[in-house]
Amino acid sequence: MLNSVMKKKHLDCHTPKGRQWIEKQNEIAHRVAQRFGHDVVFTPDTDAKVDCIFTKDNVIVGIAEIKSRDLKLDQLRRMGTYLVTEEKLLAGIEIAKFFRAPFALIINLKDADVFIKICNAEGERLVSWKSDLTRTQATCNGGQADRQNAYVSLSTMLVLR
């Protein structure tokens, strides 16, 4: 409804490479939803603060940020943490508080899907992270960005496949 009225900004998710990542993100969300017996609703392919919402019997039961990385599970374990923009985690926590649903980070690797619960329905953190200003790739299409990144502990990581 409102989307037809809103102007679309040029975002990396609208490029051919970006569309591939969005398709992969949607596949992962469906796999995770099926694993837990939930349905999934996606946020618009714009600059939404989270990627999807999980529901059960028409009630919101979870919120997620989804990432895909060209890594294997053993490589991630050797790193000991997962790097993500801290702003994404903080926004997810706020949204979780508003909707009274837990927030998780879902990471698709070459050989596994990984689930890290970031906070509970009250917004209380369930995992620790170290925050640091670092330079990373800006988007799936390249570039560089200096931003506050979180190095999320893998201590509560659940391997789904």
Please give the mean pLDDT across all residues of the chain.
Answer: 88
pLDDT of residue 135: 74
Half-sphere exposure for 60 (CA within 13 Å, toward CB) = 17
User: What are the boundaries of each domain within the chain?
Assistant: 11-159
pLDDT of residue 63: 98
The DSSP annotation for 13-74 comes to GGSHHHHHHHHHHHHHHHHHHHHHT-EEEEPPTTT-SSSEEEEETTEEEEEEEEEE-S--HH
Fold that domain 11-159 belongs to in CATH: Trna Endonuclease; Chain: A, domain 1 (3.40.1350)
Q: With a cut of 70, say whether residue 82 has pLDDT above it.
A: yes
